[in-house]
Chains A and B, each alone.
Chain A
Amino acid sequence: RGKRLLVDDLLGNMALRNAASFLGQRLVGAAELGISAAKSGAGEALTNAFVTDGVRHASNQAVKQRIRAIKNIGKITKAMKMVAASKMKNAQVAVEQSRGIVNPFVRLFGDHPGVEGKAGVTVAVTSDRGLCGGLNSNITKYTRALLKLDTAAAGEAASTKLVAIGDKGRSQLMRAEGRLFSYAIADTYKVRVTFAQASLIAEELLKSNPEVVKVMFNKFRSAISFKPTLATVLTPEALEKQLTEPTGNRLDAYEIEATHERSDVMRDLAEFQLAATLYNAMLENNCSEHASRMSAMENSTKSAGEMLGKLTLEYNRKRQATITTELIEIIAGASALMDA
C-alpha cells in the first residue's frame, strides 16, 4: 500500500487501471494507490504534452487510456463520498448523544488543561484509514506542540507517555516523536465503537498511574467544521492537589458515602470519567473523519472532472490534427500527381 509508483513513462496508467478495477471492493486502500498514481501520472502527461510539445508526445492511445482511468477514479471518489456521507449521518446521532455524560464530569471536576503533571499520558485520537483530508496531520501537529509545552514546563523530570489510537496517528507520531511514543491502539473503528472498548482502553492507560491524561481529538462541530480539541482528565491525586489551588473545584462540598475509602470511590469515578471522555472522543473523531473524507472526496471528484476535461480537449485536438495532416498529405500527393 505504501508503494510509490514512478510514472516516467505512461505505462504508469497500468496502476490507474488496477485502481479502477477495485471499484466496489476495498475502495480506500486501492484508491489511495490509484489516486497518487493518477496525480503524478496525469500531471506528467499534461506537462509532457504541453511543455515538451513536439519533442515527446503522449501518444493518443495513451491519452485515451488515461482518460478512461481518470473517469474510473472519479467514479470511485464519488462513491466514497456518498458512503462517507451516510456513515457520517449515522455517526452524528451517536456523537450528540454521547456528549451528555461528559458534561456532569466537567461541571463536577472542572477542566484544567493547564495542569502540569510529572507523569502524564497524552492520547492522540486519529483514524485508521487515510484519504480523510488534513485531519490526522492536524492532530499530530497539535499533539507535538502540546508535548513541547509539557516538557518545557516540567523539565527533565517530565515523563509523558504518548499513546496513539488509530493507525494514522501511530505512523505519524512514531516518526515524529519516537522517543516519547509508548504504544498504539488500532482497529477500534472496525466494529462499532462501544463503551466497553473505551473502558478497556481507559484501564490500560491508567495502569502506569499517571497524574493527568490528556486526550487530543477532533471535535465534530458540523459537517464542514472539526476542531482539534483537548480534553483533560485528572486522576484523584491530581484532583486533590487542585482543591488547594485558587482555581480548584468544589469537590469538598460533597460527602462521599461508600464502603471503601474515599480515595477508592474517587479513583473509580476518575476511571469512569476517563472512559466516558475517551468514548466521546473516539465517536467525535470518527464522525469528523467521515465528514472530512466526504469533503476530500468531493474535491477529488471535482479535480478529476477538471483533469478529464483538459485531457479530452487535448485528445480531440490531436485527433483532429492527425486527420488534418493525413488529408494534407493525400491532397498534396494527389495534386503532385495531377501536376505531373
Chain B
Amino acid sequence: MSACSGRADIISTVEFNHTGELLATGDKGGRVVIFQREQESKNQVHRRGEYNVYSTFQSHEPEFDYLKSLEIEEKINKIRWLPQQNAAYFLLSTNDKTVKLWKVSERDKRPEGYNLKDEEGRLRDPATITTLRVPVLRPMDLMVEATPRRVFANAHTYHINSISVNSDYETYMSADDLRINLWNFEITNQSFNIVDIKPANMEELTEVITAAEFHPHHCNSFVYSSSKGTIRLCDMRASALCDRHSKFFEEPEDPSNRSFFSEIISSISDVKFSHSGRYIMTRDYLTVKVWDLNMENRPIETYQVHDYLRSKLCSLYENDCIFDKFECVWNGSDSVIMTGSYNNFFRMFDRNTKRDVTLEASRENSKPRAILKPRKVCVGGKRRKDEISVDSLDFSKKILHTAWHPSENIIAVAATNNLYIFQDKVN
C-alpha cells in the first residue's frame, strides 16, 4: 500500500484512465493531481509499479455569479478520461458549472538557436544578426504540461453532478440536477439538451437527477438516476429530447419499512454501468444494488453497506450525513464491487462468492506494504476485541470516492484529504 498525502484540500473525485497507467484526483480547491504508475524494471521486481505524482495543475478557479449574487465553487466534481489516441492524454474535469477539456503532454525537447531571440528569450537587435540558422531540437529535462483545450461553459443553470464520455469518443454528456446536455468535443458554444425534467412551475419540483452515464458500447444509450430511487435508460435515437425513457428501473417499496426517511435513503447517489454493459450498479444511502438491463422491476442483487445505520437515520438527518453521496465502482471483470462508508471504512462485495469485507483506510492502522486487516462493526450486545461499536464511528471520516484499476487489483481510496492506493500483495 502506498499513501500519498494531499494538501489540506479535500479530494472530491478519483479516476483511473483506461489503461490504469494514470490516476487523476480532483479536489475542493479546484486542483487536479495526476499520478503515473512507475514502469516495472527488471532491477526492482519487488516494487510493483508504484504511483508517483506526474502532473499538478489548477483546473478551476472560484467564480462569482453576479446575476444571482452567489459564489461558484471551484471544487472538481468529476474527472473523466478520454481514451488515448496519441502521445498526449486528455481528460474532462468539471465543477458545478463549467466543463473543461485538458491536454496533458510531455515535453522532453526544446528548440534552440532562434534567430530573432537569444537563449533567454530576449529579442536580439536586428542589426547584430549577420547569419541565418535553423533552430534545432535539443533534449531537456522531462516536463509535463497541462493546457486547457476547450472550455464548455454557460450551459448549466443547476449544479453539474456527472459527466460521461460517449463510446464514439466524439461526444460527451454533462448532467445537472434538472437537465442533461450533449456536447461535441470540438464545439464549445453549443450543446444539445437531451433530458429536461424541470417542471414549468418550480413549486412542483419533487425529483432531481442525481447521476448519469453513457452505455460503454452503445453510443445511443445512457442512464440517469433520480432522487426518488429510480433509473431511466434512454435511447437518443428515439427522439431529440429524451424525456421519455426506454426503460424504467424501480424497486417496489416495502410498505412495512416505510418511514419519513424512506425517500431520502432511496435517493441514488451514483450509477455505473458494468464493463460488459449488461448491468448497472446503483448506490443509495444504505445499499448497493445491481440491476440487469433486461429486468426493470427489481435489482438482481442487493448488498447492505452499513445497515446498522438504519436505526440512526434521524440523527443522520440532523447532522446532514444522510445526504452524503457515496460512489460505487466495479472491478475490471465486474466480479467485485466496492463502495465507501464512514469511519474511513470501505466495503467490497464479491458477486460470485457472496463474500464481503470491510477495510479501513487510515494511516494509524496501516503501514506501507502492510496487509489490510478486515474490520467489523459491532451492532449490539458484546463487542469483541477488534470490533468497533456503531456509536464510536466517526461520521466526519467518510469515504465517498474510490476507483478500481481497469484490469488489475489496484484500488484508489480517497479519505478526506488523503489518497490511499492499495495493491494485491506480490508473492
Q: Do A and B come from one complex?
A: no
